[in-house]
Structure 1
Amino acid sequence: MEFRDKPMENLIRLQEKDICKNINALLLEGEQIVGAYKTVRDQVVFTSHRIIMVDMQGVTGTRQQLFVLPYRKVLHYGIQTAGFGDPLQASQLTVCFADGHEAKFGFIGQKDLFQVANAISARIL
């Protein structure tokens, strides 16, 4: 996964017990998980302070590459909601960072999208 090149699409809510153990090891004191999601193999966790993305590699997925994207580096974000007749994954969050890169996340449904957007807003406004 290279978050700069390709959006994470069709994100499905992930139970907290199924979150990658390496993510739990990275959480700071007082940092809370806002939402955890997965694609077929990869995971993304939105916390109260940052976005943590996990690229599961190899046949078994034991090799992992983690990207940590702090909200303090976010300049702005955009939301695209699904319209009538659109596929479920049409809801999308685009996060733009100070270095010019952006990360895109395609959600199934809009409830999770706004929950994550509110967490980002709380840190950047």
Structure 2
Amino acid sequence: MEFRDKPMENLIRLQEKDICKNARALLLDGESIVGAYKTVRDQVIFTTHRIIMVDMQGVTGTRQQIFVLPYRKVLHFGIQTAGFGDPVQASQLTVCFADGHEAKFGFIGQQELFAVANAISRCIL
């Protein structure tokens, strides 16, 4: 997974108990999880302070590459909602950072999209 090259698509809600332990270990006191999602293997966790992206590698997924993207580095973000007749995977969040890169996340359902967008808004506005 390289967030600079391709979006994380078809994100499905993940139970907190299923978040990889290395990502959970990064949480700070007072930081809470807004939403956790997964692709087939990879995970993305939106907290009250940042985005944690986990790239599961290897056959068993025990090797992990973790990216931490703090909301304080977000310049702006955009959302695209699904329209009538659009495929299920039509809601998208694009987050643009101060260093010029952007991360894209495709959600199944708009409710998840707005929950994450509200969390980011609380931190950058």
Q: Same fold (TM over 0.5)?
A: yes
TM-aligned CA deviation for residue 8 of structure 1 = 0.1
Taking the aligned partners of 1:110 and 1:23, their CA distance within structure 2 comes to 25
Q: Could you tell me which amino acid in structure 1 is paired with residue 59 of structure 2?
A: V
TM-aligned CA deviation for residue 69 of structure 1 = 0.1
TM-superposition CA deviations, 1:79-103 (whole Å, max 9, x none): 0000000011100000000000000
Taking the aligned partners of 1:55 and 1:31, their CA distance within structure 2 comes to 21
Percentage of pairs with the same residue: 89
TM-aligned CA deviation for residue 39 of structure 1 = 0.1
Taking the aligned partners of 1:59 and 1:23, their CA distance within structure 2 comes to 19
Taking the aligned partners of 1:115 and 1:88, their CA distance within structure 2 comes to 18
Runs (5+) with no aligned partner, structure 2: none
TM-aligned CA deviation for residue 4 of structure 1 = 0.4
Q: Could you tell me which amino acid in structure 2 is paired with residue 99 of structure 1?
A: D
With structure 1 as the length reference, what TM-score do the two structures score?
1.00
Alignment of 1:17-96 (within 5 A): 17-96=17-96
Runs of 4+ in 1 over 2 A off after TM superposition: none
Taking the aligned partners of 1:89 and 1:45, their CA distance within structure 2 comes to 19
TM-aligned CA deviation for residue 15 of structure 1 = 0.4
Runs (5+) with no aligned partner, structure 1: none
Three-state SS of the structure 2 residue aligned to 1:84 is coil
TM-aligned CA deviation for residue 19 of structure 1 = 0.3
Alignment of 1:103-114 (within 5 A): 103-114=103-114
TM-superposition CA deviations, 1:66-124 (whole Å, max 9, x none): 00000000000000000000011100000000000000000000000000000000000
Three-state SS of the structure 2 residue aligned to 1:31 is coil
Taking the aligned partners of 2:89 and 2:27, their CA distance within structure 1 comes to 28
Taking the aligned partners of 2:57 and 2:24, their CA distance within structure 1 comes to 19
Instruction: Determine if the alignment matches structure 1 residue 120 to structure 2 residue 120.
Output: yes
Query: RMSD over aligned Cα, in angstroms?
Result: 0.3
Q: Could you tell me which amino acid in structure 1 is paired with residue 49 of structure 2?
A: H
TM-aligned CA deviation for residue 51 of structure 1 = 0.1
